[in-house]
C-alpha cells in the first residue's frame, strides 16, 4: 500500500506542475495513439497502447481483452465509485463479466493526464457513464478514474483502479 501512496504523491506533484496530456474519446473509431505519435518514447508508447487496449476492451465489453491488460498477480485493487473495494484479480474479473453482460450502458472517456516512468504509469481520466435504471429511466454520471499500471516483465498491467464521482465535472484539461 505504501508504494500506491508514493505513486499518488507523484501524480499530485505532476498535476501541480501543470503537466497535461490531452484527451480522447473511446467512442470514436480513431486510436488514442494518433494523438501521441512522435511525442513519446517507447516506454510511454507501450503504456498508451495498453491504456488504449484496456479502454477499447471496456467499450466493446471484451472480457478477454480487458483481462489481458490487468495484473497477472492477485494483489490488484479496484475501488468503485460506491466505495466498495475489490482487492483481488478474481473478484475484479467477476465484476467486469457481470458488468459487460449488461447492454444498456455506454461511456464517453477523456484522458486528462498521464505520467509514465520506468516501472509505473498513471492515467487520470474523466468519463460520462450513461445507463438505464431499474425503472427504465436513463441517467448519466460523471466520474474521475485513476489508473496505475506496473511494467511487469516488459508488459504494462493494471494494478490499481479508483473510480470517484465527479458531479461538478472537474477536469485537468486546460
pLDDT in tens, the chain (174 residues): 445 434 443 333 333 333 334 433 343 333 444 444 444 567 888 999 999 999 999 999 999 999 999 999 888 999 999 999 999 999 999 999 999 999 999 999 999 999 999 999 999 999 999 999 999 999 999 999 999 999 999 999 999 999 999 887 777 665
Phi and psi, residue 160, nearest 5°: -150, 130
Q: Which DSSP string corresponds to 138-151?
A: EEEEEEEEEEEEEE
Q: In this structure, what DSSP letter does residue 89 have?
A: H
Q: How many separate helices (H) and strands (E) can be counted in the chain?
A: 5, 6
The domain locations on the chain are 2-165
Residue 91, C-alpha cell as written in the block: 473478484
Q: How far from 131 is each of 23, 40, 138, 151, CA to CA, in Å?
A: 23, 35, 6, 34
Rounded CA gap, 99 and 96, in Å?
5
What CATH architecture is 2-165? Roll (3.10)
Amino acid at each position: 500500500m505504501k508504494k500506491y501512496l508514493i505513486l499518488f504523491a507523484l501524480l499530485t506533484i505532476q498535476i501541480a506542475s501543470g503537466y497535461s496530456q490531452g484527451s480522447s474519446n473511446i467512442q470514436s473509431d480513431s486510436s488514442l495513439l494518433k494523438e501521441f505519435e512522435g511525442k513519446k518514447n517507447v516506454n510511454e508508447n507501450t503504456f498508451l497502447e495498453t491504456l488504449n487496449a484496456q479502454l477499447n476492451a471496456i467499450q466493446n465489453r471484451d472480457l478477454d481483452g480487458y483481462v489481458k491488460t490487468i495484473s497477472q498477480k492477485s494483489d490488484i485493487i479496484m475501488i468503485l465509485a460506491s466505495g466498495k473495494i475489490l482487492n483481488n484479480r478474481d473478484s475484479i474479473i467477476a465484476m467486469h463479466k457481470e458488468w459487460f453482460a449488461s447492454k444498456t450502458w455506454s461511456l464517453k472517456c477523456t484522458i486528462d493526464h498521464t505520467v509514465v516512468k520506468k516501472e509505473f504509469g498513471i492515467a487520470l481520466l474523466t468519463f460520462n457513464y450513461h445507463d438505464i435504471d431499474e425503472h427504465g429511466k436513463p441517467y448519466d454520471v460523471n466520474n474521475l478514474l485513476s489508473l496505475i499500471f506496473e511494467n511487469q516483465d516488459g508488459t504494462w498491467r493494471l494494478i490499481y483502479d479508483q473510480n470517484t464521482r465527479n458531479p461538478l465535472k472537474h477536469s485537468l484539461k486546460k
